[in-house]
Chains A and B, each alone.
Chain A
Amino acid sequence: MSSGGAVESPMTAPSSFGEFWFVFSRNRGAVVGLAIVALFAFLAIAAPWIAPYDPALISDGALLKPPFWSEGGEPGFWLGTDDVGRDLLSRLIYGARVSMAVGFLVVVVSLAVGTLLGLVGGYAGGWIDAVIMRLMDILMSLPSILLAIVVVTVLGQSLVNAILAVSITVIPGFVRLVRAQVLVEKSKPYVIASRTFGAGPMRQIFINILPNCMAPVIVQGTLGFSDGILNVAALGFLGLGAQPPTAEWGTMLSDARSFIESAPWLVTLPGLCILILVLGFNLLGDGLRDALDPRLQK
């Protein structure tokens, strides 16, 4: 997790890493979330070594084989095969790679753009702030799927465009969060003192204010992973995201729909992976919120 490094730095003062870990580790949900995320991260990184087959490899003699515990299952294919004879377990493992990358990219893009806009708007104020916030209001009041559909219609259906589309819908959350934080920090004595010593806007924004806005941004970023993974998978399911034969869980689900009666495992397992991973990030995000920023605690 990228938050590990940030947590140790003085950004989250006054809590040191030890204090953070003390609070975090007593939250059972948060630890479960961390374990889930760590497991999927491991699967994503180690996919080429632990997946029994290549995710695109077609075994002619093994179409729609059920998992090994059901009747007719083959020990060679633990979780069975799909309609063209690809190993489901291998595709699910490679799917972890796709979804982790998707979540990461959505968070990086939306966090970078959103934080920048929030910093600029909050620090500059005036019409710049007004324009940014009105744009964000528009983005937030339109259903996210409509914006995603617009982006995908214009740019075409692909995984990259789906990531871009979902990132845009996640941006306003970061902007509002950072802006609110900047407005609080801006009038604090340390910022005013720094200004009297001649600090320019760039120094104020990036060196003085930004580090003090990081705790809620980290929490939002973690929750952004679940938004990103869920929504990109949804677009994949609708045929507007990743295209077959990519081993993406949403796309796999959409392919499996016609086999819901004959091969239910093709439907249950990819969706279960999405649910568990999204749940993991949500648990982790809640835990981080409680541990990093007591003010946000509910």
Chain B
Amino acid sequence: MIAFLLRRLGVAIPTLIGATVIAFGLIRLVPGDPVLHMIGERGASPEVYAEMRARYGLDRPLTTQYFLFLKNALNGDFGESIVSGQPVWHEFMDRFPATLELGLIALSLAVLIGIPLGVVAAVRRNSLFDYALMSVSLVGYSMPIFWWGLILILFFSVKLGLTPVSGRIDFAYDVPPWSGFLLIDVWKAGEGWPAFKSALVHLVLPAIALGTIPLATVARMTRSSMLEVLGEDYMRTARAKGLSRMRVIFVHGLRNALVPVITVVGLMAGSIVTGAVLTETIFSWPGIGRWLVESVLARDYPVVQSGILLISLAVIVVNLLVDVAYAWANPRLRGRL
């Protein structure tokens, strides 16, 4: 286990360094004076300009600048947004839980629906259900989710009037952040059912949009992994012992078939971020994806630079935790990862 941890860290650390280099290089590769980028177009007094230059060590060699950047980051200093004047770290922490909540719900949808569908398709191989599911999942897999989100809005919000078009909760509710997960915070704030329902209907469409590609992936993976397991000798043995069909499929089959599926789901953090950027833009979801895109469009360089670093860091840490959790739960994986 220790050897596994070290090996896994050996991959995560260079990636982390790579992310810092990319974020560091970003603002310096943009043509023009980095300080002017950081101050923004409205300009600043010569004193502020000089202070900024000193703070980022821009008069010193590039390597010194890089280490200064690392030192600032380690001290939690990620610079300030040009647009809002707020520290980037605060802006990130305000928005990160919203993305996390959306991502977790989307992934849960994908797993809870995708795995049973994949199992049924594998058990009834070449049936009409199997063909239908595989066709639909290929469509889901090819889905431009920025369009899919708009179609969901068009149907459920505009035509049927069932769901709101944007945001996380109705304006009528004032929910102070506690966990950052609105579905939990509404109870803490004592707003009760109506607020919970409001948060839930706001969440449904974005979660479907974000969960579609993972759902298609999980269903297809479960099917192919289950098909492989169904052909194993131990499955025949289990049947021959006289165990019921359901027991064989779910206890003996599914448990083994789930290993590759869970690994893939765990490593979806990166693609969830990519999806979140699009989903949040469509549904005006106040998470880190929309924040990042708006900052790029507003040329808010400090936010883009630190935002990229913080989001990469989050993804790397999640991937690492997922790997470690699996290795702990399933010793067979340790050699493979």
Chain A interface residues toward B at CB < 8 A:
29, 134-135, 137-138, 141-147, 149-150, 152-154, 226, 230, 233-234, 237-240, 250, 253, 257, 260-261, 264, 267-268, 270-272, 274-275, 278-279, 282-283, 298
Contacting residues, chain B, for A153 (C-beta < 8 A): 26, 30, 296, 301, 304
Total A-B contacts with CB atoms under 8 angstroms apart? 126
Contacting residues, chain A, for B281 (C-beta < 8 A): 237-238
- Cβ–Cβ contact B278 & A238, under 8 A: yes
How far does the alpha carbon of A152 sit from the alpha carbon of B150 in the complex, in Å? Answer: 24
- Cβ–Cβ contact A234 & B297, under 8 A: no
Chain B positions 23 through 52: 1 when the CB is less than 8 Å from some CB of chain A, otherwise 0: 000100110000000000000000000000
Chain B interface residues toward A at CB < 8 A:
11, 14-15, 18-19, 22, 26, 29-30, 138-139, 141-144, 146-148, 150-151, 153-154, 158, 224, 269-271, 273-274, 277-278, 281-282, 292-293, 296-297, 301, 304, 308, 311-312, 315-316, 319
Q: A143-B315, A146-B312, A250-B146 are in contact. Are A268 and B15 (CB under 8 A)?
A: no
- Cβ–Cβ contact A237 & B11, under 8 A: no
Give min CB distance, A235 to chain B, whole Å.
10
6 nearest A-B pairs in the assembled complex, by CB-CB distance: A271-B147, A138-B18, A143-B273, A145-B274, A279-B142, A143-B270
- Cβ–Cβ contact B151 & A268, under 8 A: yes
When the two chains form the complex, which single residue of A138, A147, A253, A261 contacts B146, counting CB atoms closer than 8 Å?
A: A253
Closest residue on chain A to residue B315 by CB atoms: A143
Closest residue on chain B to residue A256 by CB atoms: B150
Contacting residues, chain A, for B154 (C-beta < 8 A): 260, 264, 267-268
- Cβ–Cβ contact A279 & B273, under 8 A: no
Contacting residues, chain B, for A274 (C-beta < 8 A): 144, 147
Give min CB distance, B167 to chain A, whole Å.
16
Give min CB distance, B113 to chain A, whole Å.
21
How far does the alpha carbon of A99 sit from the alpha carbon of B141 in the complex, in Å? Answer: 18
- Cβ–Cβ contact B15 & A233, under 8 A: no
Contacting residues, chain B, for A134 (C-beta < 8 A): 14
